[in-house]
A and B are shown apart, each in its own frame.
Chain A
Amino acid sequence: MIKVRDYIYKDILSVNENSDLRRVIITMKRHRVCAIPVVNQLGEYVGCISEQDILNASVPQYMKSMYNTSFMADIDHIIGHLHDLLEEKAIKFTDSGYPTVTPNDSMSYAADLLFRSKKTALPVLEGKMLIGLLTRIEILTVSLNGNKLS
């Protein structure tokens, strides 16, 4: 069985739950990751923020209730709304139910989890400790006959 352990992206940079959203976005952009884990003061994992979570918070509620919003295409609501949220704390956007895996889980389990949750990366945890991420593309490359691409 192919395990997550061998495919972990070993970067553990996270944001503090009290960091502001501006810092979260800057970190995600510079780090080139689409999801960033969130930790508390003790360094324990509390959840994850993905690009989609931030986008979700930026779209005004009334736009989500509309069947079709293309008539509003020329108005800057979403970006404007996001701009107003930049001082908010990361914990507000954190999904504490974000799916996670452990090093011992199989890659197939991780693949199924990613498929169902529609996320692009999963935090890898040992207990409450973050030890890295498992990215979607890594799961796809497993199929390439074990030839690990850099």
Chain B
Amino acid sequence: MTEFLSWHLDTIHIITTLVIFIFTFVFITTEALPNAIAAMIGAFLLVAFHIVNQEEAIDAVDFETIGLLSGMMMTVAVMRKSGLFEYIAIKSIKLTGGSPWRILVVLSIVTAVLSAFLDNVTTVLIVVPLTFAVADTMKINPMPMLISEILFSNIGGAATLIGDPPNIMIGGATNLDFMDFIQNNTPVVLVVSVVTFVLLRLIYHKKLSGMVADKEKIQAFDEKRAIQNKRFFYTTLVIFLIIIALFITHHLHKIDLATLAIGGGFTMMMVTKQDPEEILKEVEWATLFFFIGLFIIIGGLEKTGIISFLADKMVEVTHGETEPAAQLVLWMSALSTTFINSIPYTATMISVIKEMTINANQSIEPIWWALSLGACLGGNGTLIGAAANIIVAGFTQKTPYPIKFKEYFKIGFPLMLVSIVITSLYLYVRYF
């Protein structure tokens, strides 16, 4: 009798969990509810229905991810005030002498590098207004630059562990550390960047050389004034470099990244005498709760065995071989994250991959890289592929140059496919 009941209970749990998961996913994708609310209510329901208990829920939340995210948010909040990023961007722009193509390249590189170390949204919030300012001053159309910036925010973000949420989550779930990401992702990111530039040049060559630009006006930008307080500027820069150095040397000191990030953030606040209340207001609590809610829901999927089921299916399809699995994961991730939010997707996939039983003599690592690169680069496919894309598009809506879905798709999707092809080849050559 109890067996019968428990079987029924299990089924009910499974169905309930699936329903909650699907609803949450739909709400997030259609933006019917704000992300944090959808995820947390979903999580709450899972616990309320006793599918997971509170302890298990808390266990499911990956502190490494949450800690790293919040620590970096705090650190960046302080650094933004110094004008460091604007300084870098403006200085670089002035060095180009004002030719539109060069400006596109420079701003894209700045976007990529910043994306690699900061989150993509903050990066575009810094670079996009500057792009408009440059375009307004030189009286040129900023569209090519903006589209390139979207592409490189996602490309750059793929390069490091801290560059994009999928990487942070993978780092938290596995023992891959900062240097591992650099060694595996950065090379392909560089190749993809070069190819993307070449293709962009082909696409925009006519448009850009046809632009009559008021080049000297750029020189009137005074980057030194972006720095209001030299001491503050250097202090934040130094502390940031120390934090990155500590990330890189993780294998030596073994301090986890989340601890480093949070510690670094508060140290920065202390040394620069910032009011913690002010800085903590800049932390995106909604985003953090979004992650927390998702982790709990995934925990529910794990506990009810749904994840195992999916994992087994994937192993079946790929016969337990890493290579096809990696390629499958790569393409699936890229095409999925083009349309849906990469965070819930990655959270789910991480659980699935962990459960995949691979043939003994093969490493599961390439599959992680496939997930990482696919989820990050896939964001380039459409305007809704990543939060940063939406923000850039939003900025343009009220200007004479609004970026529309179709327009971006014609450029973003093909370029994304190219980048995945390159990645696919890379994975093959490097690992197989």
Contact = CB atoms under 8 A, between A and B. Distances in A.
A62 B221 contact: no
B137 A62 contact: no
B228 A68 contact: yes
A112 interface: no
A77 B138 CA distance: 11
Given A62-B136, A62-B395, A77-B137, A71 B129 contact: no
Interface in B64-91: 80-81, 83, 86, 90
B129 A65 contact: yes
A71 B222 contact: yes
Interface string B47-73: 000000000000000000000000000
A73 interface: yes
Of A60, A67, A70, A71, most B-chain CB atoms within 10 Å: A71
Contacts of B81: 67
Contacts, number: 60
Interface residues of A, number: 15
B302 interface: no
B223 interface: yes
Contacts of B226: 68, 70-71
Contact of B223 (A62, A71, A77): A71
B125 A65 contact: yes
Contacts of B202: none
A42 interface: no
A70 B217 contact: no
A61 B125 CA distance: 13
B414 to A, nearest CB: 29
A63 interface: yes
Contact of B133 (A62, A67, A68, A73): A62
Given A73-B225, A74-B220, A75-B137, A60 B132 contact: yes
Interface in A35-90: 60-63, 65-68, 70-75, 77
Interface of B: 80-81, 83, 86, 90, 125, 128-133, 136-137, 217, 220-226, 228, 395, 398-399
17 contacts: A62-B128, A62-B132, A62-B136, A63-B129, A63-B133, A65-B125, A65-B129, A66-B86, A66-B130, A67-B80, A68-B86, A71-B223, A71-B225, A72-B221, A73-B222, A75-B221, A77-B137
